[in-house]
Amino acid sequence: MKKLEDLILTYKDFPKKGIDFKDVLEILQYPDIFRDLILKMSSNQFLKNAEAIISIDARGFIFGSAIALKSSKPMIVARKPGKLPGQTITRGYDLEYGKNSLSIQSNSLKKFNSFVIVDDLLATGGTVGCVSRLLQDQKKEILGLITVVELKELKGRLKLEIPVDSMILL
């Protein structure tokens, strides 16, 4: 019988030498484990107090939308630039293995005042830090981060000024 921990597969030197890539997609092939994971991710208090979820491109969308369905919360997305139509706001940041930027649709953001961030994995904290700053610039409240995996040696949690609820510490 597989456990959630067994479904986080490690790919050495992907996408660059020296990176141990933790792949969460195997979870989706085990619906019972995926369901239990979503129930757990949907149960924390800061989600209950948030008006909406913001999930991060691209694996964050998988978990974010399931949590949105379970918790009956609206969800908006933070995507790589050039993917979202209409007016957007964008910020850049450093990744564990490169650089990136994220954009949010201004019209979606206007509708909600408090958010919980959802992503698949917390590494250095650069990605979630970028989304947090985008939201803070718009005077939004950020109640916490919900993530499947946290790479504890990278200490991303210490960079963030929000509570972190991670399902697996690696």
* Residue 119 touching ligand AMP (CB under 6 A): yes
Cα–Cα distance between 158 and 170 in angstroms, integer?
A: 16
* Residue 89 touching ligand AMP (CB under 6 A): no
Site string for ligand AMP, 54-73 (x = CB under 6 A): --x--x--------------
Binding residue (CB under 6 A) for ligand AMP from 120, 131, 132, 140: 120
Considering only residues 136 to 165 of the shown chain, the ones binding ligand AMP according to CB under 6 A are: 156
- Residue 170 beta carbon to ligand AMP: minimum distance, rounded to whole angstroms: 9
Helix %, strand %, coil % of the chain (to 5) = 35, 35, 30
- Residue 147 beta carbon to ligand AMP: minimum distance, rounded to whole angstroms: 8
Tokens of 69: 């369905």
Q: Is 163 in contact with 143 (CB distance < 8 Å)?
A: yes
Q: Tell me how far the alpha carbon of residue 74 is from its chain's centroid.
A: 15
* Residue 78 touching ligand AMP (CB under 6 A): no
Tell me the β-bridge partners of 90. 103
User: Which of residues 140 and 157 has its CB atom nearest to ligand AMP in the complex?
Assistant: 157
Closest CA to 150 of 168, 132, 131: 168
User: Which of residues 42 and 55 has its CB atom nearest to ligand AMP in the complex?
Assistant: 55
* Residue 123 touching ligand AMP (CB under 6 A): yes
Strand order across the 52-56 sheet: 75-78, 52-56, 114-122, 141-150, 164-169
User: Which of residues 64 and 125 has its CB atom nearest to ligand AMP in the complex?
Assistant: 125
Q: Return the ∠ at Cα 121 (arms to 115 and 122), rounded to 5°.
A: 75
Piece of the chain touching ligand AMP by CB under 6 A; list 67-75, 80-88, 116-124, 133-141: 116-124
- Which residues would be at the binding site for ligand AMP (CB under 6 A)? 19-22, 56, 59, 95-96, 119-127, 156
